[in-house]
A = this chain, B = another copy of it.
Amino acid sequence: MSKFVLDEFLPYQLSVLAAQISREFSALYKSRFGITRPEWRVLAHLSQTESPVSVREIFDRVDMDKSKVSRAASRLESSGHILKSVNPTDRRLVELRLTDKGRAMVAELEPLARQFETEVLKRLGREAGRFRANLNALLGKK
């Protein structure tokens, strides 16, 4: 059997690539807005829907531990980017929603995100679409 080569091991490659790209991008929003990765995720998720969203909903969909989401939300509340309130229908739930300040920040952030993504995909040329499709397949989408 041929030798095992770590550099060609899929889980390893994915790990390295994801870490590199995330580091690069997070350096961007960290320096520009002073937010952390978990905070960015919460913000990005909140920006997608008008209605308030519970902590559970986020950590379900966003692949972060409950506590991570909870703490990120608390920081975002302190910094005035989101509001937390108890859901009156089900008092176990906490509703998160963007403040105007939060919305403004996301509005600045999103173009940067798009641009960053475009730059990355440029490296793949015409293979970009296929790569994304395969990524989605591995993520078990649709």
Binding site for B on A (CB under 8 A): 3-7, 9-22, 25, 41, 44-45, 47-48, 61-63, 110, 113-114, 116-117, 120-121, 123-124, 127, 130-139, 141
Contact = CB atoms under 8 A, between A and B. Distances in A.
A137 B123 contact: yes
A117 B14 CA distance: 12
Copies held by the complex: 2
A112 to B, nearest CB: 11
Nearest to A61: B7
A134 B137 contact: no
B14 A110 contact: no
Given A9-B44, A113-B4, A130-B127, A20 B120 contact: no
Task: Give the one of A16, A22, A47, A127 with max B CB within 10 A.
Answer: A16
